[in-house]
Structure 1
Amino acid sequence: MTLVGIIANPASGKDIRRLVAHGSVFDNIEKVNIVRRVLLGLETTGVERVLYMPDYFGIVPMALEHVHLNMTVEPLKMYCEGTQDDSTLAAKLLEDEGAKCLIILGGDGTNRAVAKGSVAVPFMSVSTGTNNIFPCMVEGTIAGMAAGFIATGAVSAEEGTFKTKRLDVMIDGRPSDIALVDVALYDDIFLGSKAIWNMDKVKELVLTQAKPSNIGLSSIGGMVIKRPLPQDKGLHIVLGPLDSGEGLEITAPVAPGLIKAVKVLDCREISMEDEIVFDMSPAVIALDGEREVELLPGKKASVRLSKNGPRVVDIERTMWLAVQRGRMTNHGK
């Protein structure tokens, strides 16, 4: 029985960047509407069963109202704490259940949490967060159909997905956490509200992506290198005070509507398995735009570029292949 998992984060798209920047609120009713269209798209492709992460808002149960589906849609048997750990646990359980694709509604932080639970199952990442570099803007119907074609085998994962990079964060040489887009060394001693908006405190960046069209810290890299970053490379950037007489001053959109000048002292490409050591403690390490790790006095942190990111559905390629194979042709009608 073909199984697809749905992880819809009810907290995405609502953090403090609505106050300190100009991020729009992505309300949960719209997530309900997206999931409803996702489910209809999945059923069209022949998916037989869906398991979903339960949440305090009831996104999927509300999406099931007023639609009739022939496929089975059930919640995972798990206790939810209302934290990002729910997404991590749900991903692990869905992998254990044999899910062939994970449909994720959220931003970079949600996808990072899911990747901590599973990178073996392809991601269909639908953007409903604040910083949306890893997930893509896609209509829910198409997201469901593309995920369904991968899950049913109409298009194989080798054909219809692409591999991504990740950043492994180590504390004193031991794995501590991961990021999918960026890791930032932040000159502070407490996590606070998590989201970053004060660029004066950002001292170093390690990036898997660097595009001027991105929103968030990875846009800084795009402003510096002025060309696409190779797939097998990452970027390490050292920042300094704006009044420094050295370095390159650039302007970048570090959050929605928040365009800041920063001083780049050094920028270099890094290769797979290269490790960047942070020589500052105490400090805070931000992962994909959110302060997550407290670096205590005397501790050493490092970041390693890894090829072991999740596979992500290539929507356009998957849809073309499905059409070419007659999956959207009604023979005999």
Structure 2
Amino acid sequence: MVSVGVIVNSASGHDVRRLVSAATVVDNSEKGAMAVRLMAGLGAAGVDEVLAMPLDDTVAGPMARVRRGIELETGAPLPPIRWLDMPVVGRAVDTCLALDLMRQAGVAAICVLGGDGTQRLAVGRIGDIPLTPLSTGTNNAFPGWSEATVAGLATGCVATGQVSREDACVQEHALLVHHDGRTEAALVDVAVTRSLFTGVRASWRAEHVEEVTAVFTDPTVIGLSAIVAARADAPRHAPVAARVRLGEGTRVRAPLAPGVVEEVAVSQPQYLRLGDVAEIPDGHGAISLDGERLIERPGGLGASMELVEALWRIDVARAMSATRVQRWGP
């Protein structure tokens, strides 16, 4: 039996940036509909079962209604859902526990509906299990955008062995941040802020940031990594990250949040190679990972970060292209 794990973060895309910028709102009804479209693709590709993290009624209700409508309209049953037996408290620990349980259950792939802050939780938890990230957050620099039905087809083809991991997946990198015995991972960027506390978590104001390190520089994405992308070249999937300081050097324009563009003075970039460890100086400012302040440093202790190989991401376009080549030849 081929099982695929599905995690829907009902809290993603609901932070303060909805009030201070023009960020898109992916409401929980749409998340439920996305999950159904995803499962339709998984079922069409031959997946037998979906192993899912329990959902609150704001997602589960719309998902059940859309599922019934799809099955009545198409006549094709979607894969049955087996709900994980786990407590849900509405915090990141839910996703972490669900990922651990899915790995233990031997799922063939995992799909996560969430933003950058949700996707990063998979680092170090799923081993070689392929991940399909779907965007329901704010910046969505890591997952990008894919239609859920097509993403389900691509994931199902990988999970059932119709397409190999080598043909469908790309190796992603991450920055591991070590501070006072704690380790956290970032798939997009790490920033040292002037904020003493994590507070509302979301980090989007350049005036509050001292430095940013980007796992990759993509000039088409928004968020703090856009500051680095305006000055440095660290292509996605290349074994290199780029680091800049703010407040000195060349002035650049960077889109820091949806509808928010700021001009910032940025230093010459420094580069970290795979396996390099870089020190984050002593200071009281909180450390932000993938756009969220997560690590407070009340004692002013320094930290370190290391660029590592992280996880295998299913590239939907590559996977679908591989099915075409296998069917008809190059």
- Asked if the contact 1:170–1:303 (Cα under 8 Å) also holds between the matched residues in 2, the reply is yes
Work out whether residues 247 and 264 of structure 1, in 8 Å CA contact, stay in contact via their aligned partners in 2. yes
CA distance change for structure 1 residues 227 and 47 in 2, over 3 Å: closer, same or farther? closer
- Mark the CA change 1:44 to 1:185 in structure 2 (over 3 Å): closer, same or farther: same
**In structure 2, distance between residues paired with 1:262 and 1:122:** 37
* Equivalent position amino acid for 2:135 in 1: S
Give the TM-score normalised by the residue count of structure 2: 0.92
* Alignment partners' CA distance in 2, 1:50 and 1:10: 18
Q: Deviations over 1:86-109 (max 9, x none)?
A: 111111110110111111111101
User: For residues 192 and 70 of structure 1, what CA distance do their matches in structure 2 show?
Assistant: 41
Counterpart for residue 280 of structure 2:
278
- Aligned residue among 225, 229, 232 for 1:225: 232
**In the alignment, which residue of structure 2 is the partner of 1:196?**
203
Is 1:140 equivalent to 2:148 in the alignment? yes
Separation in 2, partners of 1:108, 1:254: 14
Task: Give the C-alpha shift of residue 229 in structure 1.
Answer: 6.0
- Partner-residue secondary structure (3-state), 1:221: helix
Give 1:156 shift: 1.4
Seq. identity, % = 35
Q: Secondary structure at the match of 1:220?
A: helix
Query: Do 1:55 and 1:82's aligned partners in 2 also have CA atoms closer than 8 Å?
Result: no
Residue of 256, 259, 268 corresponding to 1:257: 259
Q: Residue 22 of structure 2 aligns to which amino acid in structure 1?
A: H
> Which residue of structure 1 aligns with residue 268 of structure 2?
266
* Offset at residue 70 of structure 1 (A): 5.4
Displacement of 1:300 after TM fit? 1.7
Aligned residues: 320
2:138 maps to a residue whose letter is: T
SS of 2:19's partner is: helix
- 2:48 is matched with 48
Gap runs ≥5 in structure 1: 241-245, 328-333
User: RMSD in angstroms over aligned alpha carbons?
Assistant: 1.8
Q: What is the alpha-carbon distance in structure 2 between the residues aligned to residue 71 and residue 102 of structure 1?
A: 15
DSSP 3-state at the match of 2:251: strand
Which residue type is aligned with residue 323 of structure 1? Answer: R
**Which residues of 2 match residues 1-333 of structure 1 at below 5 A?**
1-57=1-57, 59-60=59-60, 62-65=62-65, 66=68, 67-68=70-71, 69=77, 71-172=79-180, 174-225=181-232, 228=235, 231-240=238-247, 246-307=248-309, 309-326=310-327
Which shows bigger deviation, 82-91 or 55-64?
55-64
Contact 2:233–2:242 (8 Å) recurs in 1 = no
- TM-score, normalised to structure 1, is 0.91
Distance change (3 Å), C-alpha of 1:256 and 1:70:
closer
Q: Map Cα deviations across residues 41-97 of structure 1 (whole Å, 9 max, x no partner).
A: 111111001110112236356424314425321111110110011111111110110
